[in-house]
Structure 1
Amino acid sequence: MTWLQHLLAENYRIRQYEYAPLVRIQQWSEVPSGQALFRSLLVFENAPKDARLGEERDDRSLSYDQDRVHTNYPMTVVGYPGESMGVRLSYDRRLFERADVARMLDHLKRLLEAMAASPEAAIQDLPMLDDAERQRLLVEWNGRDGSEPAAADFSTRFEAQVRRTSEAVVVECGDDRLTYDELNRSANRIAHGLRRRGVGTDNVVALLDDRGPALLSMIVGVLKAGGAYLPLDPHHPAERLTQILASACVKAVIFGNRQAALAETVATMLPAGVGPDFVSVENLERDAQGESNPSPVTAPQRLAYVIFTSGSTGVPKGAMVESRGMMNHLLTKIPTLALGPADVVAQTASQCFDISVWQFLTPLLCGAKVQIIPDEVVRDPQRLLAEVSARGVSVLEVVPSLLGGLLEGPSLPLPRLRWLLPTGETLSPDLSRRWFARYPTVPLVNAYGPAECSDDVALACIREQPAEAEFRMPIGRPIEGVRLYVLDRRLDLMPAGVAGELCVGGVAVGLGYLSDPAKTAALFVPDPFSSRPGSRLY
């Protein structure tokens, strides 16, 4: 009797778990309130069993019934047996385009045919795409396999521009400015000094200085010497700088005149046996022999720069970018933005962010001017807006969170601004509408790309307000020399409109992570879609 009473009590106790309303399930789930728990419903009707289901038949056609199925789901698919297998599909026209639904039905038919032809195969091995769709995903929506920049040597192109606009101002920060000729001569002195210290192809040179014309001279000087530059931010803790230098196999550290004390501190913190050559830019230029252009290093696959990013782990990792990837990105920006000598490009990003590379270097290849805006101005949206207006900036790149701050204050006229590039964060349709409401004639270029792939790999030009029904902004199409694929975990192509992982192929893919072959092998994998030997996907 006691046992039965215990059993009954236990039965009553667990009865509360027999049923849970959908409202409670939604509360327990990670699906936000107001969104449907289920977005599709699949029903296969097979009662009573049709004897013909076990037969092997050559006829694998599907019939599509036009009668309506009433459910509260965005899409409902019903399959049932008959002379041929029937499929009944209903969908919410507010959420699905007819062409997209037709493509889904084609995929379903192809999968069912493959299941009938190969019943022993795993579903993940069955083909979903036909040849035409693969052609569109692999070729029509991408650049040519093997696309290369017209010329992969930065020094040669910059020196040609110096000859065309030698007296024009190339960089300005406050009252400090350099002409093209002055920048070239300063960079040449640095390059000669570095070569005397043994810096050559693929040697990494760290640069420790605030953003300014002197830092730009260092960057160009390292590239002219054939080395790869690694930017360091003097505002970062000395411990972080030491950690980066200890893992980066740096050949030399060039520091600005105001960073001597910090450089000395970092040098004493480095482990024994890790001893790059620390030299001030002033001494490097003074010891140089001549200001002539050094002989160019024409090796497009050489290392151009290393950007250390923390990612989600907080542990710095150095993304290595080749000269050809860097040049492909720099040169793409010129026709995309129609850049020329009349343009002023705002240099707003920290030198440790990958977007700083094109902000510093692209203007040098088309006769434009780099307007370096100090950190304290960039961090204040209203001061930044006033600086953009006062300096006649024509190209401005900011993260969307900063863009929101720019639009919260009073409106200022920006008569010279031709382009605004949101980057680094998701651009929302609402923020885009707010921008066009205030500056309707200034288009947006939504830029997307990882540091591991030479910065931007896709650009979307947006010239008008998005419709109210839009809930996300496009990232556009791949730039020249880059290929983008949406893949599953087995690196198989996903159909258009189906979620997967965005993978990057082409000339932009970098060399991997500095001194971290395991992470490089995990994230930089062989490209199954390329005909070029050694091509990789990121």
Structure 2
Amino acid sequence: LTAALADPDQSVADLPLLSDAERELVLTDWNSAELSISDTTTVHARFEEQVRRTPDAPAVDFGGVRLTYAELNVRANRVAHRLRELGAGPGTVVGVCVPNSADLLTGVLGVLKSGAAYVPLDPANPAPRQALILADAGVPFVLVTGESTVDTKSLALDDPAEWSAAATEDPEPAAGPDDVAYVIYTSGSTGRPKGVEVEHRAVDMYLAWAREAYPGLAGRALLHTSASFDLTVTTLLGTLTAGGAVVDGGRPTFVKATPTHLAVLADELFPTGELVLGGEALTAETVQPWRERHPGTLVVNEYGPTEAT
């Protein structure tokens, strides 16, 4: 109305819907793309920095297994050194087909420390999908637990004999910010699953933003979605570079899920800090009952952790 009164002869189609102040608010204040970060590095280097800061802090409390940052680092280092002996490094991709557990974190960090990229596979997925991904990514071996269902050479994370002789110190850096950190495959709902390579530099920038936007990552982050789902990256790597603990129960401070997951989330698992929802359309009807019961929790609708990196 203000614009129409200022210029009555202007076409309705050309009338601005926002004032100059409102336009500045939407385009600039609410849409800042700048993030101050000294130097981008690899994701595992950020984790190692956290290990040095808080070696005795809890990093994992999952399935009855509790590990400090120092203990998790030693486990991951053993995996990294063993993988390097087998030829892993920049330019190679190692599969991680492990259910949510302390072993999953060990495997992911171990692959990253070796210099290779990891490709997460959901053990619950059909064998043909796993085989397609392994072949497409050119995976030489896969980290597993228990009985392996994959045809590719597998290394059992829960077999002490496989790792007991490996070194425990941090391996010399092999990968850099421009190397691939992980490969995420699409669902394949519209055809053949497609792999997306995500570089360390991009992940590092995303996680720096996430740590600033979601303080709850420094507390207790609930891991309940498959590692093959891109939204899980925030819970896994965001938490372990923020000084928090990845957990499977207790009152969490951070939860990232889809609206469908929200429908079955137990009330005692609702976070006290941030609830991040994405992957599907989010309606007010879905989230309103939770907001009424937990008014202190910040609810965020986030999309595109793969596309944005």
* 2:255 pairs with one of 396, 408, 417: 396
Task: Give the Cα–Cα distance (whole angstroms) in 2 for the partners of residues 304 and 295 of structure 1.
Answer: 16
Counterpart of 1:333 in structure 2 is 210
Counterpart of 2:52 in structure 1 is 163
Counterpart of 1:437 in structure 2 is 292
Counterpart of 1:349 in structure 2 is 225
Q: CA deviation at 1:355?
A: 1.1
Task: Give the Cα–Cα distance (whole angstroms) in 2 for the partners of residues 297 and 203 of structure 1.
Answer: 12
The superposition leaves residues 484-522 of structure 1 with CA deviations (integer Å, 9 ceiling, x where unpaired) of: xxxxxxxxxxxxxxxxxxxxxxxx2xxxxxxxxxxxxxx
Task: Give the Cα–Cα distance (whole angstroms) in 2 for the partners of residues 353 and 369 of structure 1.
Answer: 20
Counterpart of 2:276 in structure 1 is 421
Moved more, 246-255 or 135-144: 135-144
Q: CA deviation at 1:236?
A: 1.4
Letter in 2 for 1:286: S
Task: Give the Cα–Cα distance (whole angstroms) in 2 for the partners of residues 300 and 435 of structure 1.
Answer: 39
The superposition leaves residues 338-365 of structure 1 with CA deviations (integer Å, 9 ceiling, x where unpaired) of: 2465x10001111110011121111111
Counterpart of 1:103 in structure 2 is 16
TM alignment of 1:521-536, pairs within 5 A: none
Q: CA deviation at 1:310?
A: 2.4
Return closer, same or farther for 1:165/1:294 CA change in 2, 3 Å cut-off.
same
Letter in 2 for 1:253: V
Instruction: Give secondary structure in 2 for the equivalent of 1:152.
Output: coil
Return closer, same or farther for 1:309/1:192 CA change in 2, 3 Å cut-off.
same
Task: Give the Cα–Cα distance (whole angstroms) in 2 for the partners of residues 299 and 307 of structure 1.
Answer: 19
Task: Give the Cα–Cα distance (whole angstroms) in 1 for the partners of residues 50 and 303 of structure 2.
Answer: 28
Paired residues of 2:100 and 2:224 also in contact (CA < 8 A): no
Instruction: Give secondary structure in 2 for the equivalent of 1:319.
Output: strand
Paired residues of 1:194 and 1:284 also in contact (CA < 8 A): no
Task: Give the Cα–Cα distance (whole angstroms) in 1 for the partners of residues 300 and 51 of structure 2.
Answer: 29
The superposition leaves residues 380-415 of structure 1 with CA deviations (integer Å, 9 ceiling, x where unpaired) of: xxxxxxx4xxx12111122112323449xxxx5679
Instruction: Give secondary structure in 1 for the equivalent of 2:170.
Output: coil
Letter in 1 for 2:135: A
Counterpart of 2:164 in structure 1 is 286
Counterpart of 2:3 in structure 1 is none
Instruction: Could you tell me which runs of 5 or more consecutive residues in structure 2 were left unpaired when the two chains were aligned.
Output: 1-5
Q: CA deviation at 1:178?
A: 1.7
Task: Give the Cα–Cα distance (whole angstroms) in 2 for the partners of residues 138 and 63 of structure 1.
Answer: 24
- Greater length-normalized contact order (CA 8 Å, ≥ 6 residues apart): 2
* 1:303 pairs with one of 167, 172, 180: 180
Counterpart of 1:259 in structure 2 is 147
Instruction: Could you tell me which runs of 5 or more consecutive residues in structure 1 were left unpaired when the two chains were aligned.
Output: 1-61, 65-85, 90-99, 107-132, 268-276, 374-386, 454-507, 509-538
Letter in 2 for 1:228: A
Counterpart of 2:236 in structure 1 is 360
CA RMSD in angstroms, aligned pairs only: 3.1
Return closer, same or farther for 1:340/1:438 CA change in 2, 3 Å cut-off.
closer
Percent of aligned pairs sharing the same letter: 34
Paired residues of 1:396 and 1:417 also in contact (CA < 8 A): no
Letter in 2 for 1:333: A
- The reply on whether 1:204 has 2:93 as its aligned counterpart is yes
Instruction: Give secondary structure in 1 for the equivalent of 2:243.
Output: coil
The superposition leaves residues 237-290 of structure 1 with CA deviations (integer Å, 9 ceiling, x where unpaired) of: 22221111111111322222x133x13xx24xxxxxxxxx433333541342x2
- The reply on whether 1:244 has 2:133 as its aligned counterpart is yes
TM-score by length of 1: 0.51
Task: Give the Cα–Cα distance (whole angstroms) in 1 for the partners of residues 15 and 36 of structure 2.
Answer: 34
TM-score by length of 2: 0.85
Instruction: Give secondary structure in 1 for the equivalent of 2:164.
Output: helix
Report the count of equivalent residues: 299
